């Protein structure tokens, strides 16, 4: 599907976000490991979190959709060792989180399973999850000398591990911690990261009564490991989805957008910190804590942005928001340098290469670095024919770029937003339901 986007005279309205994708995956997986039933409200509506549910169902977990409106599911946990051997190949679709977290779960079950995904997921690095799980005693094999999916997993008895991750990754940390739940009395499981990545797994396990301690970038599951207790979870709005409206609100000359109930876990709020540093008129209001996760309302208005440098410890706190931040940088005064972000090359696509390719088509002054991008801002963007390359975050970033560009932008493979934000295009239309500049509707 192609989508045409142009600049409208205003961007205004209130946004109700889809549930956070990372927290939704964890609410489903960790409650499946519990004994008892849990209700998850505002479960993320995108295809990635649906992949997690279909894999869990194939592993014998009963999950019911209770209401579609504010997507609510009821999960009947099977207990730590209660998963059934799947009769089919598990399909994680496009979702790295599904594949990596479930590999941690499957490594410790008394069963055999194969997990695969789409072409993008089957080209993403899996050696990074296989390696620590093997050190725990797991038997996991994959294509290309055990580095790529499909993965075949023969569950084993596992033992604890003290593991230092070469690159900060919440997916790998979570896979190891989940595997740690099966080690019972056999030592502790510690994961050390170079920089703390999103800590939703640690927070949810703590809320479920599991003894997980976190000290900076070090998370430890200490024996005796207690099984997680089922808990109802209300999933906050996804800050990675909010990022689109935060950037659009800041760069459009006539904008005010208010976003209720956004997850503002400090391991995810790099986007807010950077926009504030760039001079955005952005307010964080009504902060509260729900299910051990901070939540707040965000209000953004048209702003004059200036360039910033993005690198170091900040990068894991905004890694998924780089595509849309790059659009903000194109419009900001000065030169933005994004570095230490080589991980962008192994996301759903090589986001460094494709951002440079697509934003260049729109007239942006962008230069590729091995681990980032240099963006000379201050100019304007021109409508162009662009492609998402099948990457949901690229599609949304290009949608935001198109909504401030001169002329029309055509985005190919635009339906891919369904991976994380099925209502994205409708929401963009609603917020910009004012005359397009030049008079077109």
Q: Which residues are catalytic?
A: 320
Site string for ligand S3P, 161-190 (x = CB under 6 A): --------xxx--x----------------
Smallest distance, ligand S3P to C-beta of residue 281, A: 28
The answer to the question of residue 269 lying near ligand S3P (CB under 6 A) is no
Q: Any long-range contacts for 130-133 (C-beta under 8 Å, 24+ apart)?
A: 130/103, 132/161, 132/163, 132/165, 132/172, 132/175, 132/176, 132/191, 133/103, 133/104, 133/107, 133/158, 133/175, 133/176, 133/179
Smallest distance, ligand S3P to C-beta of residue 318, A: 10
Which residue, among 389, 379, 441, has the nearest Cα to 414 in the 3D structure? 389
Smallest distance, ligand S3P to C-beta of residue 97, A: 4
The answer to the question of residue 319 lying near ligand S3P (CB under 6 A) is yes
Q: Which is nearer to ligand S3P, 49 or 153 (CB)?
A: 49
Smallest distance, ligand S3P to C-beta of residue 134, A: 19
Sign of CA dihedral 15, 20, 24, 25: positive
Smallest distance, ligand S3P to C-beta of residue 197, A: 6
Task: Report d(CA 142, CA 119) in Å as an integer.
Answer: 15
Task: Report d(CA 248, CA 304) in Å as an integer.
Answer: 12
Helices (H), 252-372: 270-277, 322-331, 351-361
Q: Which is nearer to ligand S3P, 172 or 332 (CB)?
A: 172
Residue 357, C-beta contacts closer than 8 angstroms, at least 6 positions apart:
none
Contact in structure between 291 and 233 (CB atoms under 8 Å): yes
Q: Which is nearer to ligand S3P, 6 or 317 (CB)?
A: 317
* Number of chain positions touching ligand S3P (CB under 6 A): 12
Q: Which one among 320, 321, 358, 427 touches ligand S3P, defined by CB under 6 A?
A: 320
The answer to the question of residue 22 lying near ligand S3P (CB under 6 A) is yes
Q: Which is nearer to ligand S3P, 202 or 320 (CB)?
A: 320
Contacts of ligand S3P in 193-212 (CB under 6 A): 197-198
Helices (H), 252-296: 270-277
Beta strands in 202-306 (DSSP E): 212-215, 218-221, 233-234, 255-263, 281-290, 293-301
Q: Which is nearer to ligand S3P, 6 or 392 (CB)?
A: 392
Site string for ligand S3P, 97-116 (x = CB under 6 A): x-------------------
Task: Report d(CA 159, CA 137) in Å as an integer.
Answer: 7
Contacts of ligand S3P in 337-396 (CB under 6 A): 343
Task: Report d(CA 173, CA 26) in Å as an integer.
Answer: 13
The answer to the question of residue 31 lying near ligand S3P (CB under 6 A) is no
- Distance in Å from the first CA to the final CA of the chain: 20
Smallest distance, ligand S3P to C-beta of residue 159, A: 24
Q: Which is nearer to ligand S3P, 91 or 320 (CB)?
A: 320
Contact in structure between 223 and 210 (CB atoms under 8 Å): no
The answer to the question of residue 51 lying near ligand S3P (CB under 6 A) is no
Q: Name the site residues for ligand S3P (rule: CB under 6 A).
A: 22, 25, 97, 169-171, 174, 197-198, 319-320, 343
């Amino acid at each position: 599907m192609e989508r045409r986007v142009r600049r409208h005279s205003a961007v205004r309205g209130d946004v109700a976000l889809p549930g956070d994708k990372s927290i939704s995956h964890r609410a489903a997986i960790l409650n499946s490991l519990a004994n008892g039933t849990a209700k998850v409200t505002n479960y993320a509506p995108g295809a990635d979190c649906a992949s997690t549910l279909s894999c869990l169902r194939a592993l014998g977990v009963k999950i019911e959709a209770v209401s579609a409106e504010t997507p609510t599911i009821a999960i009947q946990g099977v207990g730590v060792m209660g998963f059934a051997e799947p009769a089919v190949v598990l399909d994680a679709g496009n979702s790295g989180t599904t594949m990596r977290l479930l590999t941690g779960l499957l490594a410790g079950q008394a069963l055999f399973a194969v997990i695969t995904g789409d072409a993008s997921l089957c080209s993403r690095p899996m050696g990074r999850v296989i390696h620590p799980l093997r050190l725990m005693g797991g038997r996991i094999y994959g294509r290309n000398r055990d580095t790529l999916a499909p993965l075949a997993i023969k569950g084993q008895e596992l033992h604890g591990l003290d593991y230092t991750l070469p690159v900060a990754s919440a997916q790998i940390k979570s896979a190891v911690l989940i595997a740690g739940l099966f080690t019972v009395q056999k030592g502790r499981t510690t994961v050390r990261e170079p920089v703390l990545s999103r800590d939703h797994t640690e927070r949810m396990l703590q809320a479920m009564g599991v003894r997980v301690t976190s000290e900076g970038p070090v998370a430890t599951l200490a024996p005796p490991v207690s099984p997680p207790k089922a808990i109802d979870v209300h999933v906050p709005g996804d800050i990675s989805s909010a990022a689109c409206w935060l950037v659009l609100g800041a760069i459009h000359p006539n904008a005010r957008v208010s976003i209720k109930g956004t997850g503002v876990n400090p391991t995810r709020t790099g986007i807010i910190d950077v926009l504030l540093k760039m001079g955005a008129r952005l307010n964080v209001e009504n902060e509260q804590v729900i299910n051990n996760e901070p939540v707040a309302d965000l209000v953004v208005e048209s702003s004059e942005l200036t360039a910033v440098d993005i690198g170091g410890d900040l990068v894991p706190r905004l890694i998924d928001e780089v595509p849309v931040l790059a659009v903000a940088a194109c419009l900001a005064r000065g030169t933005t340098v994004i570095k230490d972000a080589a991980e962008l090359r192994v996301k759903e696509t090589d986001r460094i290469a494709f951002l440079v390719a697509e934003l260049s088509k729109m007239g942006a002054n962008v230069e590729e670095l091995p681990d980032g991008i240099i963006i000379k801002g201050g100019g304007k963007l021109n409508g162009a024919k662009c492609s998402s390359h099948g990457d949901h975050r690229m599609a949304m970033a290009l949608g935001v770029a198109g909504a401030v560009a001169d002329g029309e932008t055509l985005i190919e493979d635009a339906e891919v937003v369904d991976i994380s934000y099925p209502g994205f295009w409708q929401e963009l239309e609603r917020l910009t339901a004012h005359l397009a500049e030049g008079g077109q509707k």
